[in-house]
């Protein structure tokens, strides 16, 4: 229980004690109907309220409902036995009753309590009770309206909290998936290269013991391998950097990304971009640029290509991005949509996941021995 709710519970409980004490006192000093009946009931109710206040715990479930109806029953008793001089005490107790129902109970329970009290005040033929009717009707109606609005807002807040929780869960899932992708890329790329280099160095050490000249030739070859590994590692680290949108100019950033890829990988890139503004939201832009960068990284890592063509085109169907290389292609041949790739468990998993997150179309074409191409169509909002 939060501090605010605990404080409200304490205030409500001791407010009930004060009202019960006032009713008990006025049962002795004020002219009322059935004094002994009211005195006994007020004394019992006072002891009950004192025990509840000292308990310091909320009455929940069935006990809570019984407590609410006990308060309502005491109000009805007080209203029926009060004279015109102390009818104000019954009105105060009714205001307390609807405040209690607003704080701790639902709108349905508040409407039920208010309806019973209103019928009681209108139906019984006693002038003091009739004097309470305006208070019960007006205050009860306002309280019921407020309770309905409060309950509606609570449902909206709960729905928003559910969406926030779902978003946080999706973010955690995406972070974990990205960690797994990075770990997999590092294991398959730089780590394997360094393991291979370590094995070659061990072979070189043994070769140097037998033939120094041959060992020097092998050492020059290893130097070239090490330089290639440095380039691969730089490319890998570059793929981990956040994408700079550069003020939202998607085409400029994509072109710069292609130029940077060509410089670092040594693979020739032909870039063709649209002159029309793309108009993607920033979050979508970041995700699309990441897809482009990851596609280029896959070309360098797996395709064995010497050339790659990047094309960006905007049309009525959305933004189309294609990356086509002249490498050795995938082990399979043909063109496959995202649904077909999912069904056959083919193609790069990370790019498929990103395409699904953007509700984008994906088409993968493989030409074994002659290259491969991947095309995305991102819908424009």
CA–CA gap between residue 140 and residue 69 (Å, rounded): 16
Mean pLDDT, residues 19-40: 75
- Residue 247: the pLDDT is 43
Mean pLDDT of the chain: 77
pLDDT at 38 over 80: no
The more confident residue out of 247 and 257 is: 257
- At residue 122, the pLDDT reads 75
pLDDT at 269 over 80: yes
pLDDT band, residue 1 (cuts 50/70/90): very low
**What is the predicted pLDDT for the residue at 365?**
87
- Return the higher-pLDDT residue of 26 and 192: 26
3-state secondary structure of 33: coil
Residue 369: is its pLDDT beyond 80? Answer: yes
Average pLDDT value for residue range 253-267: 82
CB of 17 closer than 8 Å to CB of 24: no
33 vs 330, higher pLDDT? 330
> How many angstroms separate the Cα of 12 from the Cα of each of 53, 54, 147, 151?
9, 12, 17, 20
Choice among 69-78, 104-113, 220-229 with the minimum mean pLDDT: 220-229
- Spatial strand order of the sheet with 268-272 comes to 268-272, 307-315, 318-325, 371-378, 361-367, 334-337
| Percent of the chain residues past pLDDT 70, beyond the cut | 80
Over 50: is that where the pLDDT of 54 sits?
Answer: yes
pLDDT over 90 for what percent of the chain?
Answer: 0
**Averaged pLDDT, 293-298:** 83
Q: For residues 192 and 91, which has the higher predicted lDDT (pLDDT)?
A: 91
């Amino acid at each position: 229980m939060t501090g605010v709710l605990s404080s409200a519970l304490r205030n409500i409980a001791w407010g009930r004690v004060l009202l019960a004490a006032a009713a008990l006192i006025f049962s002795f000093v004020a002219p009322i109907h059935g004094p002994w009946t009211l005195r006994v009931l007020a004394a019992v109710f006072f002891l009950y309220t004192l025990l509840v206040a000292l308990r310091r715990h909320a009455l929940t479930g069935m006990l809570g409902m019984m407590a609410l109806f006990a308060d309502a029953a005491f109000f009805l008793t007080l209203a029926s036995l009060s004279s015109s001089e102390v009818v104000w005490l019954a009105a105060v107790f009714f205001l307390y009753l609807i405040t209690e129902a607003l704080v701790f109970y639902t709108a349905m329970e508040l409407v039920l309590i208010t309806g019973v009290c209103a019928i009681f005040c209108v139906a019984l033929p006693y002038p003091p009770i009739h004097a309470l009717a305006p208070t019960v009707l007006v205050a009860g109606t306002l309280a019921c309206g407020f309770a309905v609005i409060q309950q509606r807002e609570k449902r909206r807040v709960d729905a928003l909290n559910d969406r926030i929780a779902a978003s946080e869960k999706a973010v955690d899932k995406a972070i974990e998936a990205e960690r797994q992708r990075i770990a997999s890329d590092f294991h398959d790329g730089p780590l394997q290269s360094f393991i291979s280099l370590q094995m070659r160095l061990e072979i070189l050490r043994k070769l140097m013991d037998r033939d120094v000249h041959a060992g020097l030739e092998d050492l020059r070859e290893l130097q070239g391998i090490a330089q290639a590994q440095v380039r691969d590692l730089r490319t890998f680290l570059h793929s981990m950097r956040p994408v700079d949108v550069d003020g939202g100019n998607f085409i400029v950033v994509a072109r710069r990304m292609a130029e940077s890829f060509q410089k670092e990988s040594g693979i020739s890139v032909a870039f063709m971009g649209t002159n029309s503004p793309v108009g993607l939201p920033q979050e979508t832009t970041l995700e699309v640029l990441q897809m482009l960068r990851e596609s280029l990284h896959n070309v360098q890592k797996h395709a064995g290509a010497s050339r790659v063509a990047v094309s960006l085109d905007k049309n009525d169907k959305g933004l189309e991005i294609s990356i086509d290389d002249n490498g050795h292609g995938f082990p399979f041949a043909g063109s496959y949509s995202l649904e077909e790739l999912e069904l056959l468990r083919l193609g790069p998993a990370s790019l498929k996941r990103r395409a699904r997150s953007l509700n984008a179309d994906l088409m993968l074409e493989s030409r074994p021995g002659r290259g491969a191409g991947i095309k995305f169509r991102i819908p424009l909002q």
